[in-house]
């Protein structure tokens, strides 16, 4: 009800504030018998963490995860998997200047209105540090998906006004992590790096777009009415900090197409029913049809600027907010493992939900 739990069978309950003791979560409903790949968890956390390159925030978070339960002798036991990442890099007083002020386009004001009493330090619960729990749980979901051959891969397709023009089928997605901005195309990646560096000089920030592709999905995942597979993916993505838009398949461009252009005609291929095009994005009527699922997610620019901004304090008085601290110019590259994680959680959940569909 307070919305810190995600999923219906595979359920992540997340907790923790940015500058509290720890961030963590409990993954319940994860079936017994899945081999646990501890290195994958850390690898995904490392992809999310700040300080990976000079392009991103220098805040040092070792982000070592501790698994507390639900795993025994290398396999899941079917009981809740609890995990914890201690917050380390916390200097008391760092955020005192924010106590009474509402930072523009942050959640300070709405938390103040909703709860009355809040932990203001570093955004508290509204900080993107909360996504640490998503990444850990998502990596566990990836282990389940691995067992059924499903792969989830995301990459950056735009930063600011630099757009990757190629479609995903033209890219070598295995090269994504070679790019400091996680764009698999070398030329586009270089332009994005350039843009970030220039923007940093002005104390300004950038948004961007991530594209996610899910391959080898069994047919039949997703529920037909309210819990359509792409509706749950949309909610998952829109629940990530800073996300403003979501498209599945043809997306907004589909709205201007004709039916005769957009319809994905069925064909038989090697004894399997496939579609000749895939404007549906691998989902029809809310249910996976076995083709690639692909979608895009739009991120607004980072709200914390290295510039002065006018705002108001809790008394409604105008104040000037100084730009200081350690912050990313653009978080989109670091959001790639978060998109992967949320997509994996949705797919794993619907995979198990579908077990109850027929007798």
Residues 41-80 contacting a copy of itself, CB under 8 A: 66-70, 72-73, 75-80
CA atoms within 13 A on the CB side of 190: 2
- H or E stretch including 192? helix 186-201
Q: Which stretch binds a copy of itself (CB under 8 A): 45-53, 57-65, 170-178, 255-263?
A: 255-263
Q: Smallest distance, Å, CB 198 to a copy of itself? A: 11
Q: What is the CA radius of gyration of the chain?
A: 21
What part of residues 209-238 is at the interface with a copy of itself (CB under 8 A)? 209, 219-220, 222-228, 230-238
Burial of 108 (0-12, 13-18, 19+ CB in 10 A): buried
91 vs 226 by CB, closer to a copy of itself: 226
The CB-side HSE value for 275 (13 A sphere, CA atoms) comes to: 19
273 binds a copy of itself (CB under 8 A): yes
The nearest distance, CB 177 to a copy of itself, in angstroms, is 21
Mapping DSSP to helix (H, G, I), strand (E, B) and coil, where does residue 63 land?
coil
Q: How far is the CB of 95 from a copy of itself (least distance, A)?
A: 12
**Is the Cβ of residue 45 or residue 107 nearer to a copy of itself in the bound state?**
107
Q: How far is the CB of 153 from a copy of itself (least distance, A)?
A: 20
Q: Is 324 in the site for a copy of itself (CB under 8 A)?
A: no
| CA 50 – CA 63 distance, rounded (Å) | 10
The answer to whether the beta carbons of residues 237 and 299 sit under 8 Å apart is no
Q: Which is nearer to a copy of itself, 155 or 299 (CB)?
A: 299
> Which member of 188, 298, 335, 341 binds a copy of itself (CB under 8 A)?
298
Site for a copy of itself in 12-31 (CB under 8 A): 13-17, 20-22, 24-26, 28-31
Q: Is 3 in the site for a copy of itself (CB under 8 A)?
A: yes
Distance CA 204, CA 202 (A): 5
CB of 236 to a copy of itself, least distance (A): 8
Measured from the CB atom, the residue of 143 and 171 that comes closer to a copy of itself is 143
Rounded least distance, CB 295 to a copy of itself, Å: 9
- Tell me which residues in 130-159 interact with a copy of itself (CB under 8 A): 130, 144, 147, 158
- SS3 label, residue 37: coil
Report the candidate in 269, 296, 302 with the shortest Cα–Cα distance to residue 281. Answer: 296
Residue among 50, 184, 208, 333 that touches a copy of itself (CB under 8 A): 208
Cβ(298)–Cβ(209) below 8 Å: yes
Site for a copy of itself in 164-183 (CB under 8 A): none
101-105 long-range Cβ contacts below 8 angstroms, 24+ apart: 101/311, 101/312, 101/313, 101/314, 101/319, 101/321, 102/311, 102/312, 102/313, 102/314, 103/303, 103/304, 103/309, 103/311, 103/321, 104/303, 104/309, 104/311, 104/321, 105/300, 105/303
Q: In this chain, which of 49, 95, 111, 153 binds a copy of itself, going by CB under 8 A?
A: 111
């Amino acid at each position: 009800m307070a919305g810190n739990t995600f999923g219906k069978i595979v359920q992540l309950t997340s907790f923790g504030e940015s500058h509290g003791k720890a961030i963590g979560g409990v993954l319940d409903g994860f079936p017994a018998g899945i081999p646990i790949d501890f290195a994958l968890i850390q690898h995904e956390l490392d992809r999310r963490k700040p300080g990976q390159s000079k392009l991103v925030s220098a805040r040092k978070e070792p982000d070592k995860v501790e698994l507390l339960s639900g795993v025994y002798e290398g396999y899941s036991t079917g009981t809740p998997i609890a995990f914890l990442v201690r917050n380390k890099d916390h200097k008391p007083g760092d955020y005192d200047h924010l106590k009474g002020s509402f930072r523009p386009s942050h959640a300070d004001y709405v938390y103040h209105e909703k709860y009355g009493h809040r932990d203001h330090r570093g955004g508290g619960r509204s900080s993107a540090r909360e996504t640490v729990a998503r990444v850990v749980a998502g990596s566990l979901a990836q282990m389940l998906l691995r067992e059924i051959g499903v792969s989830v891969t995301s990459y950056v397709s735009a930063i600011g006004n630099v757009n990757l023009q190629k479609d995903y089928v033209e890219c070598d997605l295995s090269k994504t992590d070679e790019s400091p901005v996680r764009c698999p195309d070398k030329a586009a990646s270089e332009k994005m790096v350039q843009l970030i560096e220039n923007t940093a000089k002005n104390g300004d920030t950038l948004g961007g777009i991530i594209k996610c592709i899910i391959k080898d999905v069994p047919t039949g995942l997703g529920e037909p009415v309210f819990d359509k597979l792409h509706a749950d993916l949309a909610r998952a993505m829109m629940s990530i900090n800073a996300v403003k838009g979501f498209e599945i398949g043809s997306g907004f461009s589909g709205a201007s197409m004709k039916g005769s252009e957009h319809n994905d005609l069925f064909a038989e291929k090697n004894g399997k029913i496939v579609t000749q095009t895939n404007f549906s994005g691998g989902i029809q009527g809310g249910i996976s049809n076995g083709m690639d699922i692909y979608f895009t997610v739009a991120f607004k620019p980072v709200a914390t600027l290295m510039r002065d901004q006018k705002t108001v304090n809790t008394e409604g008085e105008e104040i000037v907010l100084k730009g200081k601290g350690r912050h990313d110019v653009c978080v989109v590259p670091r959001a790639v493992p978060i998109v992967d994680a949320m997509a994996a959680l949705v797919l794993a959940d619907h995979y198990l939900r579908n077990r109850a569909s027929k007798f």
